[in-house]
A and B are shown apart, each in its own frame.
Chain A
Amino acid sequence: NAGVTQTPKFRILKIGQSMTLQCAQDMNHNYMYWYRQDPGMGLKLIYYSVGAGITDKGEVPNGYNVSRSTTEDFPLRLELAAPSQTSVYFCASSYESRGNYEQYFGPGTRLTVT
């Protein structure tokens, strides 16, 4: 298993540009999440999904969009990038199972908006 994979690893965007951060998991997990981590801070939930076709907002959804057309993929779309979106983005997945609630994280995407 590759686990949770994310592309790209690094990206520099100009203000106003758009991009999609890719996330995929091969563990057949039904739950998937997007977090952002600002320097010296904890992780803040942007969006999450409980299964294909179902998404919901987290704590900081403004400026982002998501879709979940398959169990495996959960892309995060940034429209009209702003410097405030400079951060490290982590995708994670988990499955509903008695006794195991671990969220498995991807390696992260470091995004800079200038």
Chain B
Amino acid sequence: GENVEQHPSTLSVQEGDSAVIKCTYSDSASNYFPWYKQELGKRPQLIIDIRSNVGEKKDQRIAVTLNKTAKHFSLHITETQPEDSAVYFCAASINFGNEKLTFGTGTRLTIIP
């Protein structure tokens, strides 16, 4: 089955700097790659996603890039703010998220004021 690895497990950045979180996946049939944000004690919420026919997607300060050849995708957060502090999870699916999403182990991002 699919295996998703996520790095780093913890990340601290100064407010205003950029943060990058990286994931690799094992199943070349995967075609959907969402990123979820989970604040302490809260439920995960989708922040951005990308399909395999797109190399990059941007939404304001958040962007995701996908390299299908390397089976690698990354989350980029620019101009970080204190409210960006949370745990971020990447995931991969072979059926556009319907049915089995395989999650990475998460990155705890801390924004230092």
Contact = CB atoms under 8 A, between A and B. Distances in A.
Contacts of B106: 40-42
B38 to A, nearest CB: 9
Interface residues of B, number: 24
Interface string A48-88: 10100000101100000000000000000000000000000
Contacts, number: 58
A22 to B, nearest CB: 16
Nearest to B44: A105
B100 interface: yes
Contacts of B1: 59
B97 A94 contact: yes
A42 B104 contact: yes
B83 interface: no
B109 to A, nearest CB: 14
Contacts of B101: 33, 43, 45, 103
